[in-house]
Chain A
Amino acid sequence: MLATGAVRAGYLALAAFILIGPGLGQVAGLKSPAIRTWKMYSGVGVGVLRGVFVVTRDGAEIARETPLQVLGLARYPGGEHYDFAARVLAPGDLERLAAPRCAALGPGEVLAYRGEVGGLDGWEPLAADDLCGGAR
């Protein structure tokens, strides 16, 4: 049974929306809940640290810790990354992440970070010499 003109126009419009619609968001940059982009996993891992926290006293290194150790975690929660507060996405996030560790530093100790942070374009260099605002 052949479709009528209106039915054909309807399904062809739907087909065009399905195939081309995501491009309106991904290429043309339009943002709307009705325009579904297919950017699966595009934000997962962004803000994750790949580097080392270094504790020094009087300029001498006394400890090295991984980001997970500084966070007091054995591993990342692995579920919804949106809900994980300890990602480094903006200036100040690294200091906020390190604040509990700063509170545990001994007298005269300095906490620094050397490494990278996950970004949408790849790993980005990130370093901070004194995350706790002066030796404790």
Chain B
Amino acid sequence: MEAVLRWFEQEGSTRPAGLLRAGFAAVLWVRYGDEMGLHLAGGWNAAALSAAFFLGTGLLFVGLATRFAAVLTALVLGFLYFGAGWGGGAIGWTHHHVYLTVAVAALLALSPCGRSFSIDRLRELAAAARAGRPPAPERAPLVAMRLIALQIAAVYLWGAVDKMTPGWITGARLEQVFWWHYEGRALFDVLAAPPVPMVLANLVLALEVFIAPGILFRRTQPWAVPAAFVLHAAFYLLVPVKTFSATMMLCYLAVIDADATDRLIGRFAGRAP
């Protein structure tokens, strides 16, 4: 238990969280932007929701009043999923990739994601200079980032559990997916021809079983993380996953060691490792 607590509460660079914050805001614009525009608002409630979405995500992107922005964004997304989606029957907003954005937004709201790569950081630097004190360090406990890492591990874990059925393992379910998306299209004869669906289905299942725990341990990360990126790239190329793959890939900023990412950023910036 001590090791688990140490893992959660370990301090690390806040720069990966800052990158995740800005990238996540951009993903949200891609996913929801064309559905949340003010031009679509039929009433004042919808207009207020739209304004809250763009205010929250805009502030989140630049990192201004970041805690407020993250909380506001999480509340808006939570309303879209629970209220408009499940409550209002907007089935497109009940999807798993929408829930994933709700979860990530809520966990970002618990993180120190405004401490780096943000206007809040610039203000802190200016305030520290005026006061003649060192600025607050770009380091913090990684609890929220660990929870994001657990969230994406859970996606693989339970995704794999769902696939442990005869329908999936025989390739029949994936074959049906290919019939739906590819019949009448160029790659149909390649993807839907046995044994291609069965081979791909079992490869996906094996990868998910490996990736779920593999991304959480430093020893297996060098294999699990690239495998996950290949898997998500394949999903993105082969089937319409909207922003799911992009969100998952972005969340690897919470998986990979924060200080290692910080050192890489330093190398990009020309600093010696």
Contact = CB atoms under 8 A, between A and B. Distances in A.
A and B associate in one complex: yes
Interface of A: 1-3, 7-8, 11-12, 14-15, 18-19, 21-23, 26-27, 33-34, 36-42, 44-46, 48, 50, 68, 73-76, 78-82, 118-123
Interface stretch (B28-36, B38-46, B148-156): B148-156
A15 B179 contact: no
Tell me what chain A mostly uses at the interface: helix, strand, loop, or mixed.
Answer: loop
A106 B230 CA distance: 53
27 contacts: A1-B11, A1-B141, A3-B143, A18-B154, A19-B153, A19-B154, A22-B158, A26-B162, A27-B161, A33-B82, A33-B85, A37-B158, A38-B157, A38-B162, A40-B96, A44-B180, A44-B239, A45-B175, A45-B180, A50-B179, A68-B183, A118-B180, A120-B165, A121-B167, A122-B166, A122-B173, A123-B175
B167 A23 contact: no
Tell me what chain B mostly uses at the interface: helix, strand, loop, or mixed.
Answer: helix
A93 B96 CA distance: 28
Contact of B165 (A36, A46, A121): A121
A79 B162 CA distance: 22
Contact of B162 (A3, A18, A37, A74): A37
A38 B96 contact: yes
For B5, B92, B176, which residue has the most chain A Cβ atoms within 10 angstroms? B176
A43 to B, nearest CB: 10
Interface string B1-24: 000010011010000000000000
A82 B239 CA distance: 16
Nearest to B81: A33
A42 B183 contact: no
Given A3-B143, A11-B143, A68-B184, A22 B154 contact: yes
Given A45-B173, A121-B167, 16 more contacts: A11-B8, A12-B8, A15-B147, A33-B82, A33-B86, A33-B94, A37-B158, A45-B178, A45-B180, A46-B176, A50-B179, A76-B179, A76-B183, A78-B180, A119-B167, A123-B175
B159 interface: yes
A16 to B, nearest CB: 10
A74 to B, nearest CB: 5
A37 B161 CA distance: 10
Nearest to A8: B5
Contact of B9 (A3, A39, A44, A76): A3
A36 B152 CA distance: 13
A18 B94 CA distance: 18
Contacts of B170: 122
A93 to B, nearest CB: 16
B176 A48 contact: yes
A19 B176 contact: no
Nearest to A11: B143
B35 to A, nearest CB: 13
Contacts of B239: 41, 44
Contacts of B75: none
B167 to A, nearest CB: 4
B8 to A, nearest CB: 6
Given A23-B158, A45-B177, A78-B240, A18 B9 contact: no
Contact of A121 (B9, B82, B157, B166): B166
